[in-house]
Amino acid sequence: MNFEQFRAPWWQPGGHVQTIWAALCARQGQTPAWRRERWETPDGDFIDVDFSIHPADTGAPTLVLFHGLEGSSSSHYAKALYQVCAQRGWHLAVPHFRGCSGEPNRLLRAYHSGDSDEVDWILRRLQQGVGGELVAVGVSLGGNALARWAGVQRQAALELVKGAAAVCAPLDLVAGGVHLGRGLNRWLYTPMFMRTLVPKALAKWQQSPGLFDRLRLQRARTLHEFDDVYTGPVHGFRDADDYWSRASAKPLLKQVAVPLLLLNARNDPFVPACSLPTPDEVSAAVQLWQPPHGGHVGFASGAWPAHVHAMPLAVTEWLEQWL
């Protein structure tokens, strides 16, 4: 399949349907079984990493999946990647960003879209523990963090991974954040994220009363308002605008040296098409796939009720050429 021409089934009109159908209705295959490891971080916190347990040779490649906002190894795209990695005989590792594995992390900080230092530490730790080569995939928030890491590391990224892919990443966080706060997006998707983000942040306030303006957080109805109160200041940014500007991967894409695939559907409700990078905004190491359909991490295809394996198959096939 030429994935740049990907088209959803005729009965999935528009980016909203393609996004929601893939997450809630499409076939995902057998439920994966994981082996979990808890890693202590250098700053006294922890993350949980889930490893696939399907048969694979010791020296087979390991695909590292960086999940999206409030995602986990239970996300539909993680389950689909599990099936595809099993078919290819690859190992799969899903490191959970802090607080996303089902247990609150210890520190007041959580995770954010530009956390390239955390990505670097995770990849270096994995490189020491696996027998084969590493490739990496980041989805949505995890995709921006991975792409930003590639831009920050430049040539040094080649020492850790053979190739990387960012799927449906909001590479321009300002454009994506503003888009999510408007119109139907504000009512469809923002409440879904806020249902878990706000209680987690309030738990941090209980750890450290006065950490932020609690009443402002409770009144927050958009991701900009949430990031302005909590994510930005707690993670070293002035406010939401400073966070979104400095954490975006797009300004660093000309510095990328490792083979990097950027896959973005042009009808993604989270990421306006006008914000997507153009060929003159990226380095020669970056390949752009911008199909007309797919929604946000959708890409469901096949007979009713469709499946979500097309994207993982295409992305892993692209990564395989670098191994």
* Interacting residues of 183 by C-beta distance below 8 A, sequence separation 6+: none
Q: Which residues of 292-312 are buried (b: 16+ CB within 10 A; e: fewer)?
A: ebbbbbbbbbeeeebbbbbbb
How is residue 280 written in tokens? 């003159």
**140 included as an active-site residue:** yes
**CA distance linking residue 90 with residue 63, whole number of Å:** 7
Cα–Cα distance measured from residue 159 to residue 5, given in angstroms and rounded to the nearest whole number: 33
Q: Exactly one of 76, 96, 296, 309 is catalytic; which is it?
A: 296
112 is catalytic: no
Three-state secondary structure readout of 154-186: HHHHHHCCCEEEEECCCCCHHHHHHHHCCHHHH
Active-site position among 52, 113, 140, 301 = 140
Distance of CA 3 to the CA centre of its chain: 19
Q: Is 302 left (phi over 0), alpha (psi -120 to 50) or beta?
A: left
296 as an active site residue: the answer is: yes
Sheet containing 46-52: order of strands: 34-40, 46-52, 91-95, 62-66, 134-139, 163-167, 260-263, 286-289
CB under 8 Å to 291, separation ≥6 — which residues? 3, 4, 5, 6, 7, 263, 265, 266
Helices 141-153 and 116-129: angle between axes, nearest 10 degrees: 80
If DSSP codes are grouped into helix, strand and coil, which group holds residue 314? helix
Cα–Cα dist 133/130, whole Å: 8
- Return the DSSP state at 36: E
**β-strand 46-52 against 34-40: which pairing, if any?**
antiparallel
Please pick, among 268, 293, 301, 309, the residue that the annotation labels catalytic.
268
Show Cβ contacts of residue 319 under 8 Å, excluding neighbours closer than 6 positions.
63, 135, 137, 162, 163, 164, 165, 261
Q: Which residues are catalytic?
A: 140, 268, 296
